[in-house]
Amino acid sequence: MSDTIWIEDKGDHLIVVSDNPAQKNVLTLAYHELQLEALKRATEEDRIAAVIFVGRNGYFSAGGELGLLASSLEGSDEEKATPINMFHASIEAIRACPKPVIAAVNGGAAGGGLSTILACDFIISEEEATFLAAHVKIGVTLDGGLTAALGRQLPRQLATEMCMLGSVVTAETLAQHGLINSIVPKGEAEVAAVKLAGKLARGPVTTQAKIKSLLAAAPVNDLDAQLALEKSTLVEALGQAAAKEGITAFLEKRRPDFPAAEGRT
């Protein structure tokens, strides 16, 4: 941790903070290491129900640290790949983390910052935020799974415009195509993300983890494989405390207490 990046432990959720407004919260190797630490803690600690990524003071993130790329221009392919490997490890960890990961976006996100938020499970954006795949503007191709996210989730023409021209798009445009969960007024993204984390913490965390894994498998499985996975996952879930509490509470016409049932209180 440093005076520009740190983890805030709120008990039932973690907030990974980047606060380097002079550089628009660029994604340094140290920041990726901090992300990996937070995601590891969330994976290992039952009390943590969610992880929030936030860039404070004006912008979520302008993307990767260009100094790292510049220093590798004359290096070997292995040297060129070093910062990319670290970035991709953080993207893979976001997807693999069993707890939901929430991006709270103020100002906007560019390049690797956009890759990062699109890897998250929930995106809350302030209404004035803008988004761009900025790589082409410096003559490089995209990374961090950005072509996968944009190519699968946007019309081809819009994805092509963003990637080949580096065109700026608004939060409203991305929301229209289902990439953003909610748009909030300026200054309220982090507050809304914390409220969402609280809602997730009151739910069945073990069940949420299983649902995340099912959703991750769905794009690569055919229907038969996904049905089989759904069956085995549901059978496993029915043997756990969350299902017993949820079903019993429904039959007794009361609100379920999932944190107590799962031993998180």
DSSP annotation string for 91-104? HHHHHH-SS-EEEE
pLDDT reported for residue 1: 67
Distance set, CA 213 to CA 92, 145, 149, 223 (Å) = 13, 18, 17, 16
pLDDT reported for residue 236: 97
pLDDT reported for residue 79: 83
pLDDT reported for residue 65: 83
pLDDT tens string, the chain, 265 residues long: the values are 689 999 999 999 999 999 999 999 999 999 999 999 999 999 999 999 999 999 999 999 999 888 777 777 778 888 888 889 999 999 999 999 999 999 999 999 999 999 999 999 999 999 999 999 999 999 999 999 999 999 999 999 999 999 999 999 999 999 999 999 999 999 999 999 999 999 999 999 999 999 999 999 999 999 999 999 999 999 999 999 999 999 999 999 999 999 999 999 7
Is 136:163 a contact under the CB 8 Å cutoff?
Answer: yes
What is the dihedral angle through the alpha carbons of 229, 42, 245, 202, rounded to the nearest 10 degrees?
-120
Is 13:194 a contact under the CB 8 Å cutoff?
Answer: yes
Q: Map tokens 């509470």 to a residue.
A: 249
DSSP state of 253: T
How far apart, in Å, do the first and last CA atoms of the chain sit?
29
Question: Rounded CA gap, 106 and 239, in Å?
Answer: 41
Instruction: Copy the structure tokens of residue 118.
Output: 């699109």
How long, in residues, is the chain? Answer: 265
Question: Rounded CA gap, 229 and 91, in Å?
Answer: 24
Beta bridge partners of 50: 13
**What burial class does residue 89 get, using C-beta atoms within 10 Å of its C-beta: 0-12 exposed, 13-18 middle, 19+ buried?**
middle
pTM: 0.94
Asked whether the CA dihedral 42, 32, 211, 185 is positive or negative, the reply is positive
